[in-house]
Amino acid sequence: MNSAADIVFDEATKTYPGSVRPALDALSLTVPAGEICVLLGSSGCGKTTALTLVNRLTELTGGDIRIDGTSIREQDVIALRRGIGYVIQQAGLFPHLTIAQNIATVPQVLGWPKPRIEDRVRELLELVGLPHGEYGDRYPAQLSGGQQQRVGIARALAADPPIMLMDEPFGALDPVTREHMQDEFLRLHAQVRKTTLFVSHDIDEAVRMGDRIAVLAEGGKLLQYDTPERILHAPADDYVARFVGTDRGLKALTLRRLSDLTLEPYAGGANGTALRADDSLRTALSALLAAGADRLPVTDADGHPVGTVTVDLIREAA
């Protein structure tokens, strides 16, 4: 269990006491090591149940879940949880502890030597963009929502667990901060490659974050488990199609960037309206419509022209 591990749900079932119908109904899927799997669905579809089954905050009533081939039933529950990073919606930071102490919690209970804990806290705060000198000694209430959630993520990464469970981690943030945090997490994930289960009810977030998306329906039934492209282009049934939305054609455009296209040669163009090569096709289409133009120039990050995008090019790519 070092840098990443795969997670296998094998007919995983949960029926809560006093309930006839299962909250999660024989879920079978495999999350390959190092990937992000988004559990997507409306409320009451069992996605949070599926998540908390993995760290046994909820106990299975049927089937099995294996991490790196080992059943979670066979592991000591405390040891299991210490090997899994857990991030929840409101961050759940300990209000009476400083940021540094919050992050140090799991290393402390694992009995790491002090200097190692200090180094790790410093490293993690750096990683999430909150310099230790400025933020280490503050209390959670002194941070913004987005900053708190960064600390929540740093805390979850503290003992370098191979797995991350994230339960709507950005759900309480405003849209701008939210998008920013999504990008930040993707950047972070590219560095640490933890196998990540990510609960969301937001198709846009799922498409953005997921290497794969598991669409769940009421009663905890898995409708489709696929890549974002496949979910958008070939929804398994009407329910998935409706959940994905009538604008799934547009959403699919967010998955591709201008740099993926073979652009037409650069031919000058309107000032200030130039697109960037790392803009998504959706952004490009929106800009084309807004400008009322058939074609717009594209530049690289430094502003050097790299080509021209046209409405036809986008239509062909979609």
Question: Under the criterion CB under 8 A, does residue 170 sit at the interface with another protein?
Answer: no
Residue whose CB is less far from another protein, 57 or 192: 57
Residue whose CB is less far from another protein, 108 or 254: 108
Question: Under the criterion CB under 8 A, does residue 96 sit at the interface with another protein?
Answer: yes
Nearest approach, Cβ of residue 55 and another protein (Å): 6
Phi and psi of 127, rounded to 5°?
Answer: -60, -35
Closest by CA to 285, choosing from 313, 259, 306, 261, is 313
Residue whose CB is less far from another protein, 135 or 243: 135
Which one among 3, 16, 21, 78 touches another protein, defined by CB under 8 A? 78
Question: Under the criterion CB under 8 A, does residue 94 sit at the interface with another protein?
Answer: yes
Q: Residue by residue, what is the 3-state secondary structure of the chain?
A: CCCCCCEEEEEEEECCCCCCCCCEEEEEEEECCCCEEEEECCCCCCHHHHHHHHCCCCCCCEEEEEECCEEHHHCCHHHHHHCEEEECCCCCCCCCCCHHHHHHHHHHHCCCCHHHHHHHHHHHHHHCCCCHHHHCCCCHHHCCHHHHHHHHHHHHHCCCCCEEEEECCCCCCCHHHHHHHHHHHHHHHHHHCCEEEEEECCHHHHHHHCCEEEEEECCCEEEEEECHHHHHHCCCCHHHHHHHCCCHHHHHHHCCEHHHCCCECCCCCCCCCCEECCCEHHHHHHHHHHHCCCEEEEECCCCCEEEEEEHHHHHHHC
Residue whose CB is less far from another protein, 153 or 277: 153
Judged by CB under 8 A, the chain residues 137 through 166 that form the site for another protein are 138-142, 152, 155-156, 165
Triad 50, 78, 99: Cα angle to 5°: 90
**How big is the site for another protein, counted in residues (CB under 8 A)?**
32
Question: Under the criterion CB under 8 A, does residue 9 sit at the interface with another protein?
Answer: no
Which one among 15, 61, 75, 105 touches another protein, defined by CB under 8 A? 105
Site string for another protein, 233-262 (x = CB under 8 A): ------------------------------
Listed ranges 73-81, 229-237, 239-247, 265-273: which one lies at the site for another protein (CB under 8 A)? 73-81
Nearest approach, Cβ of residue 94 and another protein (Å): 6
Residue whose CB is less far from another protein, 54 or 203: 54
Nearest approach, Cβ of residue 166 and another protein (Å): 11
Site string for another protein, 44-63 (x = CB under 8 A): --------x--x-x------
Question: Under the criterion CB under 8 A, does residue 132 sit at the interface with another protein?
Answer: no
Question: Under the criterion CB under 8 A, does residue 90 sit at the interface with another protein?
Answer: yes
Phi and psi of 305, rounded to 5°?
Answer: -65, 135
Which one among 8, 88, 263, 306 touches another protein, defined by CB under 8 A? 88
Residues that bind another protein (CB under 8 A): 52, 55, 57, 78-84, 86, 88-96, 105-106, 109, 138-142, 152, 155-156, 165
